[in-house]
Structure 1
Amino acid sequence: PYYFNISPNMDATLTGRYFGKRGPQIDGEFRYLEDNYSGKNQIQFMNHDQASNKDNRYFVKLEHQHKFNNGWSASYNYQKVSDDTYFSDLATMIQVTSVVNLPQRANINYTGDTWKFNALTEKYQTLTNASNSPYQRLPQLDLSARKDYDSYILDFRSQWAYFDRDDKFSSTYTAEQKITGSRLSMTPSISIPFTETYGYIKPKLSANIRSYSLNNSSVGNKDIITPILSLDSGMYFDRKINLLNQSYTNTLEPRLFYVYIPYKDQSSLPIFDTGLADLNMQTLFTENQYNGQDRINDANQLTAALTSKFIDKNGKERLSGVIAQRYYFEDRKIFGSDLEAKKANSDIFMGATARLANSLNLDAMFQYDPTSSTMLRSTLSSRYNPEPGKLINLSYRMIDNVSDNTQDLKVFNAAGQWPLGNRFYSIARYNYDLKTSQTIEVLGGLEYDGGCWVARTVFDRISLPTSPQPNYTFFVQLELNGLGSIGSDANKLNNFLYRNVPGVRTVNQIPDVNRQANFN
């Protein structure tokens, strides 16, 4: 690459690539940074692709963020490619080849002490299966406010959006997918929290108000109002305890979360941006199980949880555990005839964390179905990180899908980084599917610390579900401290390593005292 240091706050990079079966490609990037704004523009261009016989293949990505006075800001992100197979043909990074929707959005935002406002326009360039492309928001306006008083809290959230589809794909849409139109939603609420050192009670009353004006639908205009009542409560108990000659504070924290939402028939309303959220330890304590505004579930339910912690004399949480379950007092009509809607209680969710030392962390999460006596999900992970540049991650993940065993998952993952001496560092990852007895991904790499320069090589092999043959990638990079890099793009390679080995540090990110110890 050619690097142009235009000014202290502005630079450009021009990179030439040659694909053995396709021909030359040029890649240009321009970056700028000021006190109130910053941006990055990237353009890739190939005049003629010899393998596909396509001309003028390109990728454009324009990004800008701007901060104004008095809480106002704005940004845009525009991405476009010349054809649907651009990334699968020309991308050199695994995560890029799977891109399906390219965003083309711009927004203006205001954040004040009480009020917040956001204006957004958003559409996508869909590369495959246009019928599953997201709706365009042309535009979307969000307005919210929150005011804390001495004895109560007022909250208001509202959104108006016009949802549209790209007409050029209209022949692939179903009747439901052809529905467009506007949706106005407002949710005012009032909560009256009672908080003491030993516990809290937080009653909350809100109303979800929606108004639709639809095209290509027999519904036309429709309004719906859904009241929501919730009560969150918890207690806090603690005691002093000695374990292994160490003093700890042991806490016991029960929590009850009740929600009541009457049933409202919403079957005639379209689904623009809404999906059913996965039930887990976090979503157990939400009022609505749906993401988005098109569906509000009915509810008469209570979630109970019990948390216990061991905190050392320095205030660090060394051990904790939590167990939670939701109890339903009525069948849920919003789920139709699904068996889940008739369950008297949810699965049992359990979690535990242990910080046995400052360098060793252990985590476990479980989801157990008491009806079928089946462990549906489990995740076990450990992380050993005694110092920067020394890292070992181990994890096991299991999913038992009772209704569809083709979706079962049993995966073991090992990843890490370790100094080898003589200025060399190793990095590796091994991802194995225990169900199919197949290797999903293998990564191995070496870094050499030359002091004022760093050389690194990384090899990656990944099996893709869309191809019978694995995908191989090989990176070579020479980085000159303070000047730039030769070979694979530094940011792309670093992001690739961060994704595969969470917590990894490249040589330049390791403190000098740790680097010096690896010189011999």
Structure 2
Amino acid sequence: MEIPFFWAISDDMDATLYQRYMDKRGYKQGVEFRYFTSPNNFGTFYGDFMNDTGRVKETAGGISRDWQSDQQRWSLYLNHQTNFDPSFYFRTDIRKVSDSWYFKDFSSNNYYLSNYATTEDQRFRKVPFMGNETLGSLESTARLVKNWSLYNFTVSGSSTDNFAAVSNEATLQKYPEVTLTGVKHALFKSPVNFEFTSTYDYFYRGVGQKGHFYELKPTLSLPINLGGYGMMTPALALSEVMWRREDQEPVLSGKQGNRNLYIASLYANTEVSRVFNVGGQTVEKIRHSIVPELTYTYVPNVNQTDLPNFIAPVGEQQTLTYALTNSFMARLKDKDGKKNYREFLRFKLAQTFDIIESHRDVAATGGDRKPFGFVAMEVDFIPFQYLSFMARNTYDVNKTTWSQANYDLALSDTRGDVAVLGYRYTQYSIEEINLYLKAVVTKSFDLIYNYRRNQLLQKDFEKTIGIRYQKQCWSVVLSYAEKLNTTINQSGVSTDGDKLDRTYMLTLNLYGLGTFGSQ
């Protein structure tokens, strides 16, 4: 059972206090504090703590625990940003938990799942990771960023907690990182474009190789107009990497070295389109366009045997990537005669062909040649304002099977009623159905239903029902949720049995005292 309490402290800050009782673990207490002292200074702090009275002995993913006494469990989250001016800011994203088992034990209900977002459109909802049992690591970052019209300068640092390791001593940390980037622009007012990235990193860890990393990577490109029939852009990038190790691990050829290579590419595209006069009362015209694209990439084979393991090697590459995009754009006319445009259908196919693999000596290396990569498919269909369909799929041509499939169907209306149906599939790991419903009963009453089913286990993973009553200055939300807390392996088999978490939640929100209450 969880009872949050929202408190609008002032016009520029608020807090939410969380009290959650778990009959097999005890009380978990948390607090979220949000502030907006000015448009240039804002952030969110969250922390929770509990004295976990649960007793557990298990092994998962190569790590074990035998907890036969109380454990101090906690988590910490800080997202803060200060803008010194429109082009100069400082930001921190601190994320820490007490142990590697935190997100496994609390995967059915936690702050991070509730505030997960794939974009940063909402100022106070910026958790970029799914805080459940699938999370393998957690990264904290801080960065100072300065932008100019053609350049970017960033100083940052990051620290990573690896949940799959018994100890974090061998996990590679990166602090500081200093980058200077030049965006693409004309070189001396010529038709040639120039851009570059320059990077310095210090890679650190308690056990293993560590040291300094430097890279300078300039790129030249030349857009060529093919007489109005298309565009072609050859490009050449040079990468100069230097390193210096500062560890006591064995070395093959000295503590420092360098790597030089180039990356050549050629990109070409064209567009064929036609406008159809529909002459309808709403739809006047439809424009159909077909855009084929072709990209050739070449990276030579470079000796990298002495490369330290904190630098990623760059493999030899000769690939040809081809894509075809169909799009349909409608010109619409509203009741007042105003015109607007909507891309109501976009369909894209893309695939990469590996030239090196197509010429591989099968007698020497064994196995069949498989030069054709996955086929990526994207579909966006928005026939009208309140209906949308999206698909992001990947097809494995070598195994003749879908390796990934993601579908979303959304329906809404002018009242605010919403229905979203989603399907998620990743071969050997995920297959689930998601359903979200919101019904606006009156101006003050909303009904909410959320359903998630795991098709690999053929079990319902989550069912949530809720009622919200809202007035001008306050609202009350009453909800009940059942969530299956279990871990599955790659074969879709539960590894620790099924545990049903039941959550009763009563939330009181006070609005009208600050900007945070304007929902």
Aligned to 1:474: 503
Aligned to 2:270: 235
Does structure 1 conserve the Cα–Cα contact (< 8 Å) formed by 2:323 and 2:349? yes
Aligned to 1:322: 348
Q: Distance in 1 between matches of 2:365 and 2:434?
A: 35
Task: State the secondary structure of the residue aligned to 2:312.
Answer: coil
Q: Distance in 1 between matches of 2:101 and 2:159?
A: 19
Q: Distance in 1 between matches of 2:141 and 2:390?
A: 38
Aligned to 1:206, which of 237, 247, 250? 237
Which one has more relative contact order, counting CA pairs under 8 Å at least 6 apart? 2
Q: In structure 2, give the amino acid aligned to 1:436.
A: L
Residue 38 in structure 1 maps to residue 42 in structure 2 = yes
Residues 259 and 438 of structure 1, relative CA distance in 2, 3 Å threshold: same
TM-score in terms of structure 1 length:
0.74
How far is 1:413 from its partner? 2.6
Does structure 2 conserve the Cα–Cα contact (< 8 Å) formed by 1:333 and 1:341? no
Aligned to 1:225: 260
Q: How does 1:38-437 map onto structure 2 within 5 Å? A: 38-45=42-49, 54=70, 59-69=75-85, 71-81=87-97, 92-93=109-110, 96=131, 98=133, 101-126=137-162, 129-130=165-166, 134-149=171-186, 150=189, 151-165=191-205, 167=206, 170=207, 178-195=208-225, 199-214=230-245, 215=247, 216-219=249-252, 220-241=255-276, 247-266=285-304, 268-272=306-310, 294-314=312-332, 315-331=341-357, 342-387=369-414, 389-400=416-427, 407=428, 409-421=430-442, 423-437=444-458
Q: How does 1:500-519 map onto structure 2 within 5 Å? A: 509=519
Aligned to 1:276: none
How far is 1:85 from its partner? 5.3
Residues 14 and 448 of structure 1, relative CA distance in 2, 3 Å threshold: closer
Does structure 1 conserve the Cα–Cα contact (< 8 Å) formed by 2:415 and 2:440? no
381-390 vs 66-75, greater mean Cα deviation: 66-75
How far is 1:235 from its partner? 0.8
* RMSD of aligned residue pairs (Cα, Å): 3.9
TM-score in terms of structure 2 length:
0.74
Task: State the secondary structure of the residue aligned to 2:357.
Answer: coil
How far is 1:189 from its partner? 0.5
Residues 357 and 38 of structure 1, relative CA distance in 2, 3 Å threshold: closer
Q: Distance in 2 between matches of 1:413 and 1:471?
A: 18
Q: In structure 2, give the amino acid aligned to 1:464.
A: T
Q: In structure 2, give the amino acid aligned to 1:161.
A: D
243-252 vs 179-188, greater mean Cα deviation: 243-252
Q: In structure 2, give the amino acid aligned to 1:250.
A: H
Q: In structure 1, give the amino acid aligned to 2:355.
A: F
How far is 1:440 from its partner? 2.9
Give the number of equivalent residue pairs. Answer: 451
Q: In structure 1, give the amino acid aligned to 2:159.
A: K
> Deviations for 1:388-433, whole angstroms, at most 9, x for unmatched residues?
5311222334444xxxxxx164433322222345843222232223
Q: Distance in 2 between matches of 1:226 and 1:114?
A: 25
Q: Distance in 2 between matches of 1:435 and 1:60?
A: 33
Does structure 2 conserve the Cα–Cα contact (< 8 Å) formed by 1:263 and 1:333? no
Q: In structure 1, give the amino acid aligned to 2:251.
A: S
Residues 242 and 257 of structure 1, relative CA distance in 2, 3 Å threshold: same
Query: Where do 5+ consecutive residues of structure 1 fail to align?
Result: 171-177, 273-292, 401-406, 486-490, 492-506, 510-520
Q: Distance in 2 between matches of 1:5 and 1:449?
A: 16
Q: Distance in 2 between matches of 1:56 and 1:131?
A: 18
> Deviations for 1:292-343, whole angstroms, at most 9, x for unmatched residues?
x613232222212221222112421122222222223222999x99989942
**Which structure carries more helix by proportion?**
1
Q: Distance in 2 between matches of 1:154 and 1:341?
A: 41
> Deviations for 1:205-252, whole angstroms, at most 9, x for unmatched residues?
101221222332424323111111111111111112356965311112
Q: In structure 1, give the amino acid aligned to 2:223.
A: P
Q: Distance in 2 between matches of 1:224 and 1:192?
A: 26
Task: State the secondary structure of the residue aligned to 2:497.
Answer: coil
Does structure 1 conserve the Cα–Cα contact (< 8 Å) formed by 2:172 and 2:204? yes
Q: Distance in 2 between matches of 1:18 and 1:470?
A: 16
Task: State the secondary structure of the residue aligned to 2:183.
Answer: strand
> Deviations for 1:88-139, whole angstroms, at most 9, x for unmatched residues?
6679516546466554443222111222111122224556624577411132
How far is 1:40 from its partner? 4.1
Q: In structure 2, give the amino acid aligned to 1:218.
A: V
Query: Where do 5+ consecutive residues of structure 2 fail to align?
Result: 55-67, 114-129, 333-340, 488-494
Q: Percent identity?
A: 23
Q: In structure 2, give the amino acid aligned to 1:251.
A: S
Aligned to 1:497: none
> Deviations for 1:142-177, whole angstroms, at most 9, x for unmatched residues?
111125124122111021111111x3xx4xxxxxxx
Residues 388 and 260 of structure 1, relative CA distance in 2, 3 Å threshold: farther
Q: In structure 2, give the amino acid aligned to 1:299.
A: Q
Q: Distance in 1 between matches of 2:26 and 2:46?
A: 20
Q: Distance in 2 between matches of 1:140 and 1:339?
A: 42
How far is 1:257 from its partner? 1.1
Does structure 2 conserve the Cα–Cα contact (< 8 Å) formed by 1:197 and 1:236? no
How far is 1:351 from its partner? 2.9
Does structure 1 conserve the Cα–Cα contact (< 8 Å) formed by 2:484 and 2:498? no
Q: In structure 1, give the amino acid aligned to 2:265.
A: S
Does structure 1 conserve the Cα–Cα contact (< 8 Å) formed by 2:512 and 2:518? no
